[in-house]
Chains A and B, each alone.
Chain A
Amino acid sequence: MTKRSLGKIFLLSFIFILSALLILSCEKSTETGRDAEKLNKLTEQVEKLTEKVDQLSKQVDEMGRKLEKFSETMAAPQRGGSLVLCVGDEPPGLDPTASASAAIDRVVYANIMEGLIKVDRNGKFVPGLAAKWDVSPDGKVYTFQLRQGVKFHNGEIFNARVARWNLERGAAADTKNAHPEFFRVIEKIETPYDYTLVVTLKDVDALFIVHMAEGDAVMLPMKGYENTAAAPIGTGPFKFAKWTRGDSVGMVRNEKYWNPALPYLDKVTYRFIKDPSAQVAALKAGDVDIIGWLFAPELAADIAIDKRFKVLSGASTSEVIMSTNNKAKPFDNKLVRQAIAYAIDRQTVIDLVMAGYGTVIGSHWPPVTPYYKKMSDRFPFNPQKAKELLAQAGYPSGFEATIKLPAIYPYSQRAGEVIADMLGQIGIKLKIEIVEWGFWLDRIFKQKDFELSMIGHAEAWDIGIYANPNYYFQYDSQEFREAYAKALKAPNEAEKAKWFGRCQEIIAEDAVNGFLFLSPALSAMKVELMNWWENYPTIALDCTEVWWKR
């Protein structure tokens, strides 16, 4: 702080002396009454210099901010205190192994329950309950060395036998897991030692580790897993305390956590507030300490100028797309879809819908996830080109279509309105229909009764949905399926990058959906709250390393 102000003072005195000298010399020249032009030139120079000083002081500011951030990461965390976290959706039960709902993972994952693998703040896969793992050269055998001394909250010991039971439970015929296919790639599981787990896959699966790091693969105790949906037990840094239905889920510090240094907080409460303005009011009134997902990005600037709060805007894994029914006329025509891609000014969509927060995307892959390939330049905003393509497709004067927007997501409705206007410019008249979530799931998702819609796909690594011609947007491409299969069977990193990149290219080129933007991981919190996640590379709101500065 002091360094910053010293720098400013220095710069300001410098400019002051400079201008004094200039004024003196000006006076001389006017005295001689010779050249008024010279004076003008000099004033211009002064202006230029002032601009430069402005720039420099901005840089100094920026450096100061970086310094603050650095000191935050370097400062010794303090223990104790409780945290009240506001999230929008109340989870349907608290068992991530019985539902793929993101709302569940956002409460329990990494807090109450953990899996073998964890995702760190940079999106990298790091040890969770497995201290390390090796893959055989043929890519089929995974050997996990499990952490020793890990206990569940009910006192049960975690070892290879428990891990094996969990993986088998996910693959069982009567499993309730929403993603049994994550586990059914496993051919056999061996437990040669108490803390060694050897998993042999039926075939190479590039996403096996990815899947083991998701909420669907958390480790539950063999005794006492039955009531997970109402009273979850895990190995995590926090123990489940109470679920007040309709209001909050409370958890307390796990004193016997395998990492004795963690967590820092004593108590964490997840409170469910759906209304965007009620969220902000609760933060400002001090009822909650942090809003994990700010539903109203337009209010972020207002919160940020309040000295009591800070706003973090990182990247999430949720791609917001204008889902397009690839079998519905005229959207089955690639030229029409490409015309639409040219007609959408995605930065303006972000500015109008998300108050400028968010990242432009050009394909179905979050920029924070490995193997990302930048496709956002493939269809730059060009209405003229869009009209040409539309004419080429046989619709020189455009056409009419309906866009069905789920009411539960505010961004979806707003983006729908903005895009309806943009498409209107090239002659495509959109009729907007707002539908309720259950209706959306039934009519649009299940029965595929739609032309256009708008939704955020929250999961990372979900590009495989394009390989399924029965998925709701009904994209059917042999080329994509082959590329995806190759990516899944890729034996090394270079091949993975190549084929996952190719997958992103193919769907971008085909303009399967309107790829709009990556939702920002927008959180707002009290300034004293330290070490919150800036990016959300996985679906979790992890409080393990969060602490209060006093």
Chain B
Amino acid sequence: MIRYLIKKLITLLILLGLVSITVFAVLFVLPGDPAQIILGINATPESLATLRAELGLDKSFMGQYAHWMGNLLLGQSQQSIHYKMPVYELIRDSLAVTGPLALLAMLFALAISLPFGIYAARHQNQAGDVVVMVCTQLGLATPEFWFGILLTLLFSVQLGWFSAGGFPGWSTDCWGSLKALLLPAFALGVIRASILTRLTRSSMLEVLSEDYVRTARAKGLKERTVVYGHALRNALAPVLTIMGLQLGQLLAGAIIIENVFFLPGLGRLVFNAIGQRDLPVVRDIVLFMAAAVVVVNFLVDIAYAVIDPRIQLE
């Protein structure tokens, strides 16, 4: 287990190193001058030069990279060009939105996909199964931003139950904040549930045709015990893999849905930062996203071992 952990940690570090170089290089050659974006198109060349010097943009490639890496290793945050505050604080604040949003979306996805997936598997090729499959097909084909807009039109504009977007902040209004996340999380969750439902169904079908399930049934166990006690646990492994990928994706920011619901989350932060050439923010967030995906995958690996004791973490 320890060896496994160390191995994972080394992989993480190598990965982050590679990501940092790639990100840095891409942003370095990306056309667009942060100073120009801040000062506007009618700024004089000398004011541009002053600002470029202040932002450290006049240094060489290696100079800027070393500066960034040095800060990163020392745990010091760089200042956001656009927001004039430390990048780490920005990431922390936006994670307070994106983190709960991602978890809530996954909860919705699980709450929808597990029951429907199991139901469809148990009633394979019957009317119920067909309905579920058609619905998931529909869910797969629906763009989430469009679904989000539909939800806003119904629940915010017509019924007035939810606000159309925005985020009051956990410290000022806890219930309001949770409420603000419900619609976007549902929009994200339903679309992801479509994939998970299909996966649960096929995985369940496979497991249900295994010998041990037949044995369990032959022993005279109740169908309920067979399905939930014996089959489900084994059927969950592939579902878990996809869930891990989805959670990683969601943590990396649901850019479009955050824009539709104007939530100040990680996705919108990085999206705006790219547009504004707020390079310190983009770099750090991309690194963070890469790390998040690796960590989530690592957690999924551990979960495998918990679900299926035959799997050894080596």
Residue of B31, B82, B157, B163 touching A92 (CB-CB under 8 A): B82
A52 to chain B, nearest CB (A): 41
How does the 8 Å CB contact mask read for B132-169 relative to A, with 1 for contact and 0 for none?
00000000000000000100110011001011111101
Among the listed stretches B14-22, B44-52, B194-202, which one makes contact with chain A, having 4 or more residues with CB under 8 Å of it? Answer: B44-52
Contact between chains at A439 and B46 (CB < 8 Å): no
Query: How far is the CB of A286 from the nearest CB of chain B, in Å?
Result: 7
CA distance A483 to B313 in the complex (A): 80
Residues from chain A with a CB closer than 8 A to the CB of B32 are 436-439, 441-442
- Does A78 have its Cβ within 8 Å of any Cβ on chain B? no
Interface locus among A25-33, A94-102, A497-505 = A94-102
Q: A275 near B275 (CB under 8 angstroms)? A: no
Proximity bits, A201-240, B CB within 8 Å = 1, else 0: 0000000000000000000000000000110000000000
Chain B interface residue count, CB cutoff 8 Å, equals 52
| CB interface residues, B 268-289, toward A, < 8 Å | 268-269, 272, 274-277
CB distance from B92 to the nearest CB of A (A): 11
Q: Assess whether A274 is in contact with B259, with CB atoms less than 8 Å apart.
A: yes
User: Complex formed: what's the CA distance from A186 to B182 in Å?
Assistant: 58
Check if B57 is an interface residue, CB within 8 A of chain A: no
Identify the stretch in B35-43, B114-122, B303-311 within 8 Å (CB) of chain A at 4 or more residues. B35-43
Cross-chain contact A282 with B165 (CB below 8 angstroms): yes
A230 to B85, CA, bound (A): 8
Checking A179, A180, A278, A408 against B262 with a beta-carbon cut-off of 8 angstroms, the contacting residue is A278
Given contacts A175-B50, A245-B90, A285 and B31 within 8 Å (CB-CB): no
Q: Size band of the A side of the interface?
A: 35 or more
Cα of A100 to Cα of B47 in the assembled complex, Å: 11
Contact flags A165-177 to B (C-beta < 8 A → 1, else 0): 0000000001111
> A47 in the interface, Cβ–Cβ < 8 Å?
no
B292 at the interface (CB under 8 A from A): no
Q: Chain B residues with Cβ under 8 A from A174's Cβ?
A: 50
Closest to B145 in A: A275
B275 to A436, Cβ gap below 8 A?
Answer: yes
Interface mask (A98-124 → B, CB under 8 Å = 1, otherwise 0): 111110000000000000000000000
**Shortest beta-carbon distance, A208 to chain B, in Å?**
17
Q: Is the CB of B31 within 8 A of A245?
A: no
Most buried by A among B30, B31, B41, B149: B41
Chain A residues contacting B83 (CB-CB under 8 Å) are 93, 230, 243, 245
Among the listed B51, B166, B276, which residue makes an inter-chain contact with A271, where contact means beta carbons less than 8 Å apart? Answer: B166
Q: Which residues from 439 to 462 on chain A have a C-beta closer than 8 Å to any C-beta of chain B?
A: 439, 441-443, 445-446, 459, 462
Does A281 contact B84, Cβ atoms closer than 8 Å?
no
Query: Cβ of B264 < 8 Å from any Cβ of A?
Result: yes
In the complex, chain A residues whose CB is within 8 Å of the CB of B38: 92-93, 98-99, 101
Residue contact A438 to B268, C-beta cutoff 8 Å: no
Q: Does B102 have its Cβ within 8 Å of any Cβ on chain A?
A: no
Is B290's beta carbon under 8 Å from chain A? no
Contact A179 B42 (CB under 8 A): yes
Cα-based distance from A271 to B156 in the complex (angstroms): 18
Q: With A245-B85, A278-B259 as given contacts, are A285 and B50 in contact (CB-CB < 8 Å)? A: no
Can you identify 7 A-B contacts, CB atoms within 8 angstroms? A176-B47, A278-B164, A278-B260, A281-B156, A285-B162, A438-B30, A441-B36
Interface residue ranges, B against A (CB under 8 Å): 30-33, 36-44, 46-47, 50-51, 54, 81-85, 90, 93-94, 149, 152-153, 156-157, 160, 162-167, 169, 259-262, 264-265, 268-269, 272, 274-277
A residues with a Cβ closer than 8 A to B are 90, 92-93, 98-102, 174-181, 229-230, 243-248, 271-275, 277-278, 281-282, 284-287, 408, 436-439, 441-443, 445-446, 459, 462, 465
